[in-house]
Amino acid sequence: MFIHNLELTNEQIEQQAEFKAFVDSEIVPVAGQIDQEEMMPDSVLQKVIDQGNWGAALPAKYGGANMDYITYGLWNEEIGRGCASLRNIIGVQGMVTSSIMRWGSQDQKQQWLPRMSSGELKVAFAITESQVGSDIKNLQTKAKRVGAEYIINGQKKWITFAQKADVFLVFAQCEGQAVALLVDRNTPGLTVRPITGLMGFKGSLLAELIFEECKVPVDHLIGKVGFGLALVANHGLTHGRYSTAWGAVGLAQGCLNASLKYVNERKQFDHRLKEHQLIQQMIANMVTETIAARQLCFRAGQLWDKNEVNATFATSLAKYFSTVHAFKAAKDAVQIHGANGCSSEYPVERHMRDAKVMEIVEGSTQIQQMLIAQDAFNLYQN
């Protein structure tokens, strides 16, 4: 597994082994079908719920698995190794629930979190719009308060798991200030349009949301008016970046595992592929950079567990490096597999498409570079 040098506790090592066994037995065998059919079976989601890990990072008092950040990262790595689409869905559950946990009222936590951690309510994080991706300050979706309700009008696009989610955490502008509102799927005036034909994350069940005079109770507001982007959205996105970073490590590990198996079995010119120096070079880079990416993720998890102020910076570093490496590892894995690497019969073809998407979601590679540089400039000035 090439995970040496991580300072894991005995409990974390045991949980990691459980995660790996679960993914190998329940997720890996169906990952290709999930991708090809652009679906996510309820049976797969139910297996995660039955494991008790749907609300992985939530406290036990809300029905969660009460994982520390390192354990949560290991969980995301293993799921990411098996199926990037499922990891994406699980990551989104954490984005919403962690936002409520951080900024919701006590009544909201009691009302929503136990039902979300149990899988009774599945959720989606609705911030992206067709004309607004990373530039979230310019959201076009509007919310207007009228009495005891907010009325929402606008559209969201590329929303992960929106095809099945019961509740959406929706971000909108309200008279020049951002708000975050929980919107029930059955709210009159809300239309969900599935999106298919994606390059990667094909089993993530993306959809477009159309709001036409949707009325949402005032007590569905998370935080306060004006908190929507700077606090609620950024908290959720940072959580998503952490999940994605670990998931990218898992995907890279999957590429490495597949490549090691292939070069050990495949022969060219009367020699196994592993005997060719250029193949060895690609494998060496894959090993080194996967270990480095895992270490960055581990460091970010340590800082989150210690509630350190620079945990957000460490998360951007981990997300940037891990996703860039995952795509490079996937490209090399396809190259190593040759024509077979272009076939859906081998997982590396799916890994390469999924890895490209990981460089975009939860803040693109370029956004992470900007954030990292800005922190570096501030550090230099201080």
The alpha carbon dihedral of 32, 26, 359, 136 has a sign of: positive
DSSP string over 29-86: HHHHHHHHHT---HHHHHHHHHHT-TTTTS-GGGT-----HHHHHHHHHHHHHH-HHH
- Helix/strand/coil (H/E/C) assignment for every residue in 333-373: HHHHHHHHHHCCCCHHHHHHHHHHHHCCCCCCHHHHHHHHH
In angstroms, the Cα distances linking 29 to 49, 50, 198, 259, 368 are 18, 18, 22, 18, 33
Return the closest-CA partner of residue 336 out of 260, 249, 254, 271: 260
Alpha-carbon gap, residue 57 to 364, rounded angstroms: 24
Name the burial class of residue 210, with classes exposed (0-12), middle (13-18) and buried (19+) by CB atoms within 10 angstroms of its CB: middle
| Angle at which helices 277-305 and 69-82 cross, to 10° | 150
Angstrom distance (rounded) from CA 17 to CA 21: 6
Residue 137, burial from CB neighbour count under 10 angstroms (0-12, 13-18, 19+): exposed
Nearest to 181 by CA among 211, 205, 207: 211
Selection from 137, 146, 130, 134 nearest residue 172 by Cα: 137
Instruction: Tell me which amino acid residue 350 is.
Output: R
Residue among 38, 208, 349, 362 flagged as catalytic = 362
Query: Is 362 annotated as catalytic?
Result: yes
- Give backbone dihedrals phi and psi of 145, rounded to 5 degrees, phi first: -85, 130
DSSP 162-231: TTT-SEEEEEEEETTEEEEEEEETT-TTEEEEE----SS-TTS--EEEEEEEEEEEGGGB-S-TT-IIII
Catalytic sites, residue numbers: 362
